[in-house]
Every structure is written in structure tokens, then in C-alpha cells.
Chains A and B, each alone.
Chain A
């Protein structure tokens, strides 16, 4: 069968190319942040992340070993070594010994040192300094080099963000706080909603249609309206700001979607099954726990993913109901916003912090995409 991606080869090629273009467009911003999180602050600040994938030419200031390493060979004082750290595979194209002429020499050339003696540097950074008299001073000679460096990545940022003791950059506590908010806020609404959904799907009682309509209406009520009244309520009954409040708020806000999704799914289960169970003398409670709940697993999973993503990624509810002045109960989204304010230029910290918070939802997303899609399809009000 044919459509736009039809039988004409030229058109087919255009389709492939445009899909590829769109995919690249959609993935590249995230990729940029991911790559940046593996670069040092200097690297991020001096070159675009896309350059880090290729060898880059950089102007470096290096230093030879200190004079106390010199040895006496056949009447010459000699210092030998490599200008780069161990493991760095750089290629020098030009070098110099003075900051005014950083590209005066080519690899293999020999230069006169200002303090006496000569230095020879080859392309890989090996050098040999020779001097008929003893080298003096406490530090080695400076060497300016234009070198091509291979791509270089580091895990230091993650180490700093996740494990650092000093609290300004740390995400460790926020990570656990987010987890603490998310898990109860995902499980409890499922349970409450499942019972209600069963009643709305399989029990007959006056007012049922009205309640379903109300649930559909509440689906779109902006939670912005709930902030002040509920904060007031929480303060009045004494739970104030804290985990209990944020769990309750997420439960309340998640319920309409949960009830809606689960009711639609349960209403689609075969009628015979439930009637037979009733005839066999099962109580409604038994029917629900033994029959409906296991059969509704796909819908339960769909909602669980939604609620998990939504509570994990939430900023507003946490800001209003959880985070107090003590700073002990911050969540990751809030930490990132704070970092954006205080360390707006420190991309290595920002990128890493953002990725720490993004990675868990991404894993959930790719592992359970099937259920997410199913939930989306069932959840959009038709």
C-alpha cells in the first residue's frame, strides 16, 4: 500500500532524510547537555560541546620538570621528560619558549632558553634540556605549545555533584528527597483510585454518571487554584509544609486521571467474567481483589508511570507544599533552579545536576514505553 512514503524512490529518500533531520533536531539538545556533563569547566567554557567529539587544537602552557631532577651526562646537565600528563596523547604542531612567540619552533627544533641552555621538543611532547652549567631555580621552564588534543572526558563532575560533602553543589540529598516524595505519591493514589474505578465501572447506583462527569471535569482543573486553599488547610490542621502534605497533594491531584484511566479500562473487561463470579457467590470485595486488580495490571502500570514521571519532575507542588526555609527538604528540580540562579555560568555543575535528575525518568521511560503509550491513548479524552 502506498501513501506519502509511496512507491517513488525519490520521495522515499526524502521521507528518510526528513525523519532523520527531525530526529537529530530532537535529540541534539539533550546530547549537548549529556556530553557537557563529562567535560571540565575549562573545556565547556572555551569550546562548543560538539567540538569535544573531535581532536581539538589548543594553545597550552606547559612546564618542564624542575631543575632538581637534572642529571649530569658527559659534562652536560640534562633534564628529560614529557610535557604532558601521563596518558595524554597530544600532537604538538608549533611551540615556543616565550609568551611573545608561542609558535616560533616546529617539533624537533632546538630553542635557546633565556636562563641558559637549550631545549628540544618533539611532536609527542618529549623534551630534552641541555646545559653546560647547572640549571638553577625551583621551577621548570615554561613551554608554549599549539597542540592537537584527542577528545577527553571526565567523571569528576558526577563525583562532585553526587558525592561532594559540601552542600552547595550536592544533589545527593535532593535525589533521596525526590525519591521519598515520589514513591508514596505514586502508590497511594493507585490504590484509592482502583476501588473507586471499580465502583464506577461495575456497580449500579444513582449518581454514577454524574460522578464520572465530575471526574472528567476535574481532569483539567489547573492545580494552580489549589495552592493557597490547600496550603492554608495544611497549616490549619497542623501538618504544615512537609512530606505528608506533598504526598497528600500529589494523591489528590493524581486521582482524576487515575480514576478515569482505570474506570475506562475496567469497563472494557468482559461482563461474563464478573457476572459468573457473582453467580458463584464471590463478594464484590473478592471480585475486586482476585479478578479485577490482576486483570487491570496494564492500566495500573500506565498510570503508575504517569504519576511517577509527573511527581519526579514536579517543581510547583514541591515548592508550595514541601520546601521550607530549612533547606533540608529540597528536591532535585528545585536544586537545579537554584543552581541556575547562583551558578548560571557553571555549566559543568548544571549539566551534571540536570542529568542526574533526568536519568531516572529516562530509564523508566525506555523500559516501560509500551505502557506509557497505552496510557496516553486511553487517557486523552476522546
Chain B
């Protein structure tokens, strides 16, 4: 069967299955199980209303449980076991974590991830805030924002190709076709550099790709937040003789502090999961390894599910504080 046809069939089955499930289960509840008539009509209505939410929720809860909640537990279990040749698992305690801690590649990934975690959210938020502020009152601001927002639509892989061309290197005697080297040579650089192979600095060149993508996201959210600031506070500051920089840093930024924090944490989570960029551009060579790519290496190249799961748990652990913070905020908001 042709995959496109299979796809259409799946849409048809999936959609009609969903609609059918919801319709029929509601019908069953109202007509057969607790019909709202006869001697127990009142009681039946109440009972039906107690059950109905769970009918609506069931498919979603089942999928969430199976595809997100269960894997967390299972990954934890896998990280504490080793596969036995021929099938089955044996309990090894923390051996996988200890083995991982002895690998220099893991610490290289941890070190790089630290830099990623500090630099990418900071730079994206800073650029986003800058663009949001600068475009706020100029006539072609929306066009400018739209263009800076555009990389959001581009895949990490596509962005990697785009930036690989920027970082491209040709031998010294030829014309440089990568912009970075062309500029470098133009401004008096002696030899064209193979940028992506320079340890330590190459990680920063990879971060540029993610900053380039994430700035648009930060800008959109912060721009909306800036517009939400009450005009009176700014007017008052102007009357008191504040200069534009004071207005920005002393009046505006403090008022959108929570939004900045939200943007920051959202980008932090993206950074922790970043895989495609490193995978496509250097594949972790030349000391550019990051946790997500390390994990992929372990799981699917080395086929070591134990250590792979252990490194996945490390990512989970790093995400955990943000998770807790988000949940607490959401609960506070609902009260």
C-alpha cells in the first residue's frame, strides 16, 4: 500500500475512530447506563455527569500516560539495569552512572551543556528584548520582527545547512565561499580557518545557530509584554526627567521580569533537548558533544541502553527544577 494512501486511511480511521468513540460512549452513558428518565432520573443525571469527564479525558490520559509518564519510570528502571545477552535484564544498581562518570566524553558533554545553558538563553533573551524594544515604535517594525522571527519556522537541520555554508572553508589560495572566512580574510586574517574544528570555540559557533532560531521566539513574547506595560508609569518617568535608557532598564524591564523569566526557562528547556544541530554539524566531534547527542550515541550507536538511559535521566534531572517551578506557577494561577 502506498504510504500516502496509508496516511489518508489513517487520518480517516483516526478521526472517525475518535469521533465515534466520543459519540458512542456518550450515547451509551445517556441512553443505556444512566438514562435521565424514569424513577431515578435525578440520580442518573448526577451519576452520568460524574462519569462523563472521564470519557472525554480517557484517550488523552491514556496517550499521555503511555507516551510520556511511563517512559520516565521505564527509563529510570533501564538506567539501573543492564541487558543480558540473549534477552532479559539484570539489576546493576548505579553501575551505569558510575561508568558514565568515568567517561571523558560525558564530562565534555556536561561542560558544553553548561555553556549552552548559560549563553543561549541569555543571548536569545537579550537580542529578543533589544529587537522588541527597538521595533516597538518604528513604522516598519512589524516587517522587521517578521523577518527576525522567520528562523523559527526553519528546522534545526535546515538551519545547520544554512550556517555550515557560513562557516565553510576553502584553501587559502582560493576565493572563500563561507561568509565568516570571507570577512575574516577581508579584515586581515592571515589564513582561512576551519571554524568547526577549533575546540572550545566551535561550540560557540553551534550556539549561534540556536540563538539565531530562538531570538524570534523571545522577541514575540517580550514584545507583547512591553506593550502591556501601563503607559502612565512611563509618562511619569519622563516627567521626572528619566532618559530613554533609564526608562528601559529601570521602568520597563522590572515590570516584565516574570515574562523574561518565562522566556528564559522555555529556551533553557529547548537547549537541554538540542540534538539536531550538533548531530548535523559536527556530530559531537572536535569537543562539541552535548548531552542529547551523547545519549543518542550511547543508545543507537553503542547500543548501550543502560548508560544511554542514565544520560537521559541526567537531562530529566536538569529539567526537573523548571518542571516543578512551572507546575507551582500554574497551580497558583488557577487559585
Enumerate chain A interface residues (CB-CB to B < 8 A).
1-6, 11, 15-16, 18-20, 22-23, 26-30, 32-33, 36, 44-51, 176-177, 179-181, 183-184, 187-188, 191-193, 195-196, 198-200, 203, 205, 208-209, 211-230, 232-233, 243-244, 247-249, 251-253, 255-256, 259, 283-285, 288, 309, 312-316, 319-320, 329, 333, 336-337, 340, 347, 350-351, 353-354, 357-358, 361-362, 364-366, 369, 372-373, 376-377, 380-382
Chain B: CB-nearest residue to A31: B162
Contact B315 A224 (CB under 8 A): yes
A-B contact pairs, 26 of them (CB 8 A): A3-B244, A3-B248, A4-B248, A5-B134, A19-B141, A22-B127, A30-B150, A179-B7, A191-B14, A195-B56, A195-B60, A214-B69, A216-B327, A221-B72, A223-B273, A226-B71, A228-B309, A229-B70, A253-B68, A255-B60, A283-B26, A336-B158, A336-B161, A347-B168, A354-B158, A365-B152
Give per-residue flags for B243-278: 1 if the beta carbon is below 8 A from chain A beta carbons, else 0. 011011000100000110011001001001101100
Chain B: CB-nearest residue to A189: B63
Considering the chains assembled together, what is the distance between the CA atoms of A304 and B154 in angstroms?
Answer: 16
Contact B63 A221 (CB under 8 A): no
The residue from A211, A228, A233, A253 contacting B305, defined by CB atoms under 8 A apart: A228
Which of B130, B158, B276 lies at the interface centre, i.e. has the most chain A CB atoms within 10 A of its CB? B158
Q: Does chain A have a CB within 8 A of B74? A: yes
The residue from A192, A248, A373, A381 contacting B329, defined by CB atoms under 8 A apart: A381
Contact B50 A205 (CB under 8 A): yes
Contact B323 A226 (CB under 8 A): no
- A208 / chain B contacts, CB cutoff of 8 Å: 53
Contact B263 A380 (CB under 8 A): yes
Q: Is the interface of B mostly helix, strand, loop or mixed?
A: helix
Which of A36, A193, A226, A248 lies at the interface centre, i.e. has the most chain B CB atoms within 10 A of its CB? A226
- A28 / chain B contacts, CB cutoff of 8 Å: 179
- A211 / chain B contacts, CB cutoff of 8 Å: 57, 61
Contact B14 A187 (CB under 8 A): yes
Contact B64 A218 (CB under 8 A): yes
Contact A29 B162 (CB under 8 A): yes
- B319 / chain A contacts, CB cutoff of 8 Å: 220-222
- B72 / chain A contacts, CB cutoff of 8 Å: 221, 225
Contact A222 B315 (CB under 8 A): yes
Q: Does chain A have a CB within 8 A of B118? A: no
- A196 / chain B contacts, CB cutoff of 8 Å: 56-57, 59-61
Q: Using a CB-CB cutoff of 8 Å, which residues 147-196 of chain B contact chain A?
A: 147-158, 160-166, 168, 174-179, 182
- A313 / chain B contacts, CB cutoff of 8 Å: 154-158
- B279 / chain A contacts, CB cutoff of 8 Å: 315, 337
Q: Does chain A have a CB within 8 A of B30? A: yes
Q: Does chain A have a CB within 8 A of B238? A: yes
The residue from A214, A252, A283 contacting B67, defined by CB atoms under 8 A apart: A252
Which of B17-25, B97-105, B197-205 contacts its partner?
B17-25
Contact A228 B299 (CB under 8 A): yes
Considering the chains assembled together, what is the distance between the CA atoms of A16 and B63 in angstroms?
Answer: 49
Considering the chains assembled together, what is the distance between the CA atoms of A203 and B215 in angstroms?
Answer: 38
Considering the chains assembled together, what is the distance between the CA atoms of A51 and B68 in angstroms?
Answer: 50
Shortest distance from the beta carbon of A14 to any chain B beta carbon, whole Å:
9
The answer to whether A217 and B323 touch (CB under 8 A), given A1-B235, A22-B148, is yes
- B263 / chain A contacts, CB cutoff of 8 Å: 380
Contact B334 A209 (CB under 8 A): yes
Q: Does chain A have a CB within 8 A of B221? A: yes
- A3 / chain B contacts, CB cutoff of 8 Å: 133, 136-137, 234, 244, 247-248, 252
Q: Does chain A have a CB within 8 A of B131? A: yes
**Which A-B residue pairs are the 8 nearest by beta carbons?**
A252-B67, A313-B155, A196-B60, A365-B153, A199-B56, A229-B74, A226-B71, A354-B161
The residue from B144, B212, B275 contacting A19, defined by CB atoms under 8 A apart: B144
Contact B18 A188 (CB under 8 A): yes
Contact A380 B266 (CB under 8 A): yes
Contact A252 B66 (CB under 8 A): yes
Considering the chains assembled together, what is the distance between the CA atoms of A229 and B319 in angstroms?
Answer: 19
- B138 / chain A contacts, CB cutoff of 8 Å: 5, 15-16, 19
Chain A: CB-nearest residue to B335: A209
- A18 / chain B contacts, CB cutoff of 8 Å: 134
The answer to whether A225 and B316 touch (CB under 8 A), given A183-B7, A251-B63, is yes
Chain B: CB-nearest residue to A11: B244
B contact residues, total (Cβ < 8 Å): 124
Contact A32 B150 (CB under 8 A): no
Contact B137 A5 (CB under 8 A): yes
Considering the chains assembled together, what is the distance between the CA atoms of A36 and B179 in angstroms?
Answer: 12
Considering the chains assembled together, what is the distance between the CA atoms of A259 and B309 in angstroms?
Answer: 28
Q: Does chain A have a CB within 8 A of B121? A: no
Contact A347 B165 (CB under 8 A): yes
Q: Does chain A have a CB within 8 A of B308? A: yes
Considering the chains assembled together, what is the distance between the CA atoms of A318 and B150 in angstroms?
Answer: 24
- B151 / chain A contacts, CB cutoff of 8 Å: 26, 30
Shortest distance from the beta carbon of A40 to any chain B beta carbon, whole Å:
13
Shortest distance from the beta carbon of A306 to any chain B beta carbon, whole Å:
10
Q: Does chain A have a CB within 8 A of B135? A: yes
Contact A362 B153 (CB under 8 A): yes
- A30 / chain B contacts, CB cutoff of 8 Å: 150-151, 154, 162
- A199 / chain B contacts, CB cutoff of 8 Å: 52-54, 56-57
The answer to whether A221 and B165 touch (CB under 8 A), given A252-B63, A252-B66, is no
Q: Does chain A have a CB within 8 A of B231? A: yes
Contact A15 B316 (CB under 8 A): no
Chain A: CB-nearest residue to B215: A26
The answer to whether A228 and B54 touch (CB under 8 A), given A3-B234, A26-B151, A362-B154, is no
- A358 / chain B contacts, CB cutoff of 8 Å: 153-155, 158
Considering the chains assembled together, what is the distance between the CA atoms of A324 and B241 in angstroms?
Answer: 67
The residue from A44, A46, A216 contacting B330, defined by CB atoms under 8 A apart: A216
Shortest distance from the beta carbon of B219 to any chain A beta carbon, whole Å:
10
Beyond the given A221-B68, A221-B72, A315-B156, please list 8 additional residue pairs across the A-B interface where CB-CB is below 8 A: A18-B134, A20-B144, A191-B14, A195-B56, A248-B67, A253-B68, A256-B68, A337-B157
Considering the chains assembled together, what is the distance between the CA atoms of A216 and B273 in angstroms?
Answer: 17
- B162 / chain A contacts, CB cutoff of 8 Å: 29-30, 32-33, 354
Shortest distance from the beta carbon of B76 to any chain A beta carbon, whole Å:
9
- B273 / chain A contacts, CB cutoff of 8 Å: 222-224
